[in-house]
Amino acid sequence: MLNISLKNTLPLLLTFMLTACASTSFSDLFSNYNKQMHGVKSAQQRGNFEQALTLIPQRDKGNVSYSLSLLEKGRLEYLANQHELSKQDFELVYKQVQQAEQAAKVQLSRGVENVAAVVSNDNAIRYDIPYYEQSMLHSYQALNYLSQNDLSGALVEIRRANLVQNKALKANQQAIFDSQKKMARKGVSPESLASKYPSMNTAIGEVKNGFQNAYTFYLSGVLYEAAGQANDAYIDYKKALEIYPHNVTVQQDVWRLANVLGMDNDIQLFKKRFSQDIAKGNSQGSANKQSPAASGQLVVLVEQGIINSKQEVSIHLPIFTSHGDMRFYSLALPSYQNRLRQYSGLSLSYQGKHYQSQEIVRLQSLAAKQLQDEMPVIVTRQVVRIIAKEEIRKQISRKGGDIGNILAALYNVASEKADTRSWSTLPDSIHILRLDFAPGKHEVEMNINGNKRTVNFEIFEDRQTLVKLTAIGNYTHYQSLNL
């Protein structure tokens, strides 16, 4: 009897498992992504980026997480100063994004992916790169081009980053509304989900959405200025100001260009909004006791920490079955820890004066908000999957008896994994600082999270010098670029 049951049951289970593994690996289905990346992030935390690169799980082009692996590689290659390799991998990701946006191809591929997801979990679905990750992709690609003294290439990437944010702004609200309606049709209200799902309000902080990235707008303004396009720079500085209205560095840049460009209406408005020091043109943005007639600018971009990985949480919700009766089911969902790390930022000392950087983006908050907005879609898929798996279990039970029922139930439990995929090697927080310096070579002391180091750079008249500073744990590194 046992042999008969197994003979009837195993082919069905094997069919489901093979379908699930068609475009993803076995480990991806049964092991959370955050666990797979633990060794990578540990090596990154120590500043050993070469080792971190060797620990990234290998995925081929047909794998649904292929683009995510490329993002992780590109970021670590960037940190390891392997800018050409980083540029190549980021370019491959961009091509993947372009292909995914072709609706016909998306629908064709998604048919197989959705079947796989129904019999397994969301890890079988192609990883769609969130808008905030896309904007960071193009920001890093722009910095890769700058490292190769290619300002025109950097500007192309910055325009792409801005297009991503514009596209996201148009699509966001309607997508949230539609996903909430679909979830409600499955019998789950936003209120019932909120009562069971762990809060991420502290992690989200004050961000209004999961895609508006003031850092990319600010970097855009810096590069436009370097290219002599002051009007375009002013527009993007103002966009950064809308997102981070209390960032003094952004206020100074907006005020400076408003006066240069003769934006009289804006000047009157900003006089009311900004501090008296900025509005009078006496801000603390000069590293010289007497601001010289001839000067250039130092722009410091400070990356701090590593963004948190998603965690798996389990919640119980009442769900209508295919027969119309209500039952409680357990759902495995992704979540972020409800906390934000505290960073002291950059303290710069020069000629007896001290200057402090200010945050321009908290990527952890964007990630948490993006996940919160996406949760109705995730829950809806989970409900469909649970009901489908229950029907499959019943069919196998009828054909395979008790053994079939047990095997199907075990498979359902083992395969119920939350999708914890995200670009997990990104920084947690990014700060900025801009100061005027006299032309020439300079040496300043920078203190970042208690780690002091001397930084050397050269300033040219009416030009910007960009210093990229990375601080991860006790690791600090900088690169100086003349724009």
Read off the pLDDT of residues 98-113 as tens digits, 9 standing for 90 and up.
888 775 455 544 544 4
pLDDT at position 40 over 90: yes
Token pair 């990375």 in the structure block, residue: 470
Q: Higher pLDDT residue, 22 or 482? A: 482
Q: How many CB atoms lie within 10 A of CB 461?
A: 12
Whole-number Å distance between alpha carbons of 204 and 361: 12
pLDDT at position 214 over 90: yes
Rounded average pLDDT over 226-242:
95
Rounded average pLDDT over 270-276:
79
Rounded average pLDDT over 56-84:
93
Query: Could you tell me the two tokens for 125?
Result: 């679905």
pTM: 0.86
Whole-number Å distance between alpha carbons of 158 and 141: 9
H helix intervals, 66-198: 66-79, 83-100, 103-118, 131-147, 151-185, 190-196
Closest CA to 311 of 286, 281, 329, 336: 336
Of the candidate ranges 71-85, 209-223, 256-270, 316-330, the one whose mean pLDDT is the lowest? 316-330
Whole-number Å distance between alpha carbons of 460 and 273: 32
- Give, for 43, the enclosing helix (H) or strand (E): helix 38-45
Which of the four pLDDT bands, split at 50, 70 and 90, describes residue 54? very high
Rounded average pLDDT over 40-57:
95
Identify the pLDDT of residue 113: 46
Identify the pLDDT of residue 362: 96
Rounded average pLDDT over 316-345:
78
Query: Could you tell me the two tokens for 15?
Result: 């069919």
Rounded average pLDDT over 39-43:
96
Which of the four pLDDT bands, split at 50, 70 and 90, describes residue 3? very low
Q: Higher pLDDT residue, 27 or 422? A: 422
pLDDT at position 339 over 70: yes
* Collapsed DSSP state (helix, strand, coil) of residue 111: helix
Q: Higher pLDDT residue, 38 or 351? A: 38
Which of the four pLDDT bands, split at 50, 70 and 90, describes residue 321? low
> Domain range spanning residue 72?
2-482
Domain count, the chain: 1
pLDDT at position 268 over 70: yes
pLDDT at position 285 over 60: no
- The 8-class DSSP code of residue 79 comes to H
Write the CA distances from 250 to 224, 399, 405, integer angstroms: 15, 67, 62
pLDDT at position 401 over 90: no
Pairing of strands 464-472, 358-362: unpaired
pLDDT at position 62 over 80: yes
pLDDT tens digits, 366-396: 999 999 988 888 888 887 777 766 666 566 6
Whole-number Å distance between alpha carbons of 64 and 126: 4
Query: Could you tell me the two tokens for 452?
Result: 């002091």
Which of the four pLDDT bands, split at 50, 70 and 90, describes residue 21? low
Q: Half-sphere exposure (CA, 13 Å, Cβ side) for 87?
A: 15
CB-based contacts of 301: which residues, under 8 Å, 6+ apart? 219, 430, 431, 432, 466, 467, 468, 469
Q: How many CB atoms lie within 10 A of CB 34?
A: 19
Identify the pLDDT of residue 11: 55
Q: What percent of the chain has pLDDT over 90?
A: 50
CB-based contacts of 48: which residues, under 8 Å, 6+ apart? none
Identify the pLDDT of residue 115: 47
Give the CATH number of the domain where residue 241 resides: 1.25.40.10
Query: What are all long-range contacts of 398-404, with beta carbons under 8 Å and residues at least 24 apart?
Result: 399/8, 399/9, 399/12, 400/5, 400/6, 400/8, 400/9, 400/12, 401/1, 401/5, 402/5, 403/2, 403/5, 403/6, 403/9, 404/5, 404/8, 404/9, 404/12
Identify the pLDDT of residue 286: 53
Q: What are the strands of the beta sheet with 358-362, ordered from one edge?
A: 358-362, 429-437, 296-304, 464-472, 475-482
Rounded average pLDDT over 250-278:
87
pLDDT at position 78 over 70: yes
Average pLDDT, the chain: 82
Token pair 């006299």 in the structure block, residue: 438
**Helix/strand number for the chain, H first, E second:** 18, 11
The 3 state secondary structure assigned to 403-424 is HHHHHHHHHHHHHCCCCCCCCC
Number of residues in the chain: 483
